[in-house]
Structure 1
Amino acid sequence: MNKKIFSGVQPTGNLHLGNYLGAIKNFVELNKDENNNCVFCVVDLHAITVKQDPKELRDNIRETVATFVACGINPEKSIIFNQSAVPAHSEAAWILSCVARMGWLNRMTQFKEKAGKDKEKASIGLYSYPVLMAADILLYDATHVPVGEDQKQHLELCRDIAQKFNNDYSVEDFLKVPDPLIQKEFSRIMSLKDGTKKMSKSELSDLSRINLTDSEDLIVNKIKKAKTDPLPLPSDSKELETRPEAKNLLGIYSSLNNFTLDQTINEFSGKNFSEFKEKLSQVLVEKINPVANEIKKLNKENEYLDKILLDGQKKANEYASNKLKKIHEIVGFL
């Protein structure tokens, strides 16, 4: 059965190893499968839930496209576009926000985490963006959505909204209820400075992450300085439950090589971290350096990147506007 895959990536700029192993590497595999029709959206409307510098945002949208292509996503096989270029997303989000319920949104843990203690100062966009996310997915009749642990709740909301719309308007299966595609292993890559925190661009120290544009020397230096513990590498995965830094570094090595964690543990059991870090650096340089070079090259080719977005916009707009037209008819708009 053909799968219709939808996924969105925020144009935050300077994507890192966590973005690659947790999402983009999986996108590349999905893109290669002839049975998949993939839609990859640069979700710039989601990005402005927090204040953005306009010039930086434009640059980051292009850099996200450059990263997709540099990592191996084929723009001729998949649709790549930026969300704001397809007006149906915003309009469908409003219609679906009239179906969604306050109680559902109040349960969204990500809003509580991002808004912090002073929720009164958070934007309405930050509160309601899961409804926009639902619109993104439902406009394309997506059957499957790749999600990390932190987005599972949002996909559940999307499913609830689709089911309620279908029930309210007696249109069975009109809005397709999507299934999650959950990466079982290595979906969360942690900070190189603290194995209990997710790798993030927002962490102050650049040593906490491997950026996809890092040079060979930078990668080697960051792995050399990555936090470890004084014990030798374990012989059993159970030992890793109390050793977050070891678990993270072994997980990175495993994911880059398409190994299971157990295979990597067998390879390095009882060895010291210095030997392991040398091997990990080699693999990172081998996998990330070509991507970094390609991103830097593509970042100078704005016309090419804009053409990818324009081609993607035309395809996405045709599909999404047709779906929105049917939504209009169902709701009762003239």
Structure 2
Amino acid sequence: MVRIAAAGAVVMAHFGYFRIFDDSQIARIADLGREAVIAFFVLSGFVIAYSAEQRNPTLRDYASARCARLYSVVLPVLLLAFVLAGLAEQLGVQVGGSYQLHKPWLYIPFHLLFLGELWGFVETPPWLLPYWSLNYEAWYYLLFGAVFYLRGRMRLLGVAIFALMGPKLWLLLPLWMAGVVLYRWQKTHAIPQGMARTGWTLTLGLLATWAWYDPEYELRLVAQAAWPFSSLRMGSADRVLADYLVGVLVLANFACARHAGFDLLPRAKRLIRFLSAHTFTLYLSHSLVICCWQAFVPFERGAPGVLLGLALAVMAVAAALQPLTERLQRRLHH
């Protein structure tokens, strides 16, 4: 359920970022896109810790599962983005990051290796704004795999991976690792149901209050002023202070939800699993659909028909890509 809500929040946020909403709608609708990504980070650490312990007994199994999951979606969406953005540029549309389109032999492998946030790099593929978070997660997968599966001197490989990631990835690593810690904590600890429900409600209320007052801009200025690496751009890590505060609320919410005893969710588990299976594809492909819409379809900002049509297009593309990504994931995993 968290994946569904977080993916929807990211799509909604990008309707504002790409100015599909009009100005009045942007002012009225809370932008929770970054908060949703932080929820994804914490959830990812939890799920990876679970899968490593319960489903992937060897490093080979783990590496195969993680690569299959990533590349089954990344490969087709990335190639599609380069093709469609290249077509748009040929038709006279201004494309951000167009320099990448002129050197696909360099930038496609660059993005497939998730190098876009290492050290001084701040690079995302054309029309794939959400890709930045994969440049973090892929390296966190690599680091976790080295530490969890390797022993002795070989485990020192994890230290080398950590050093290679650079300061931006170091900053957000605690958010991802919080999910790992939560997975291990909840195996031996329990929260009374009444307390868990109260905590779950309280953390949601605090997140709503956070969204209402939105102190992120001020915290970003503080983070930028304290950044010690003047020659390196902070890029997507400049929201780190806000990310930590949101991460604490998300972590507490997850811990409480585990013991709150919500009986309705198991009854809808088939629907939830079906929708959750589409969230990664939706997360990565929706900005491609939005950018294509902007490039090729004349529209009036904020018009109800435009919002409905684009929302349906986003969902339709994710649904159409899903069978392809599932087949590709099965092939890559085996």
TM over 0.5: no
Query: Structure 2-normalised TM-score?
Result: 0.30
* TM-score (norm. length: structure 1): 0.30
Between Structure 1 and Structure 2, the one with more strand by share is 1
Q: Which has the higher contact order (CA 8 A, sep 6+)?
A: 2
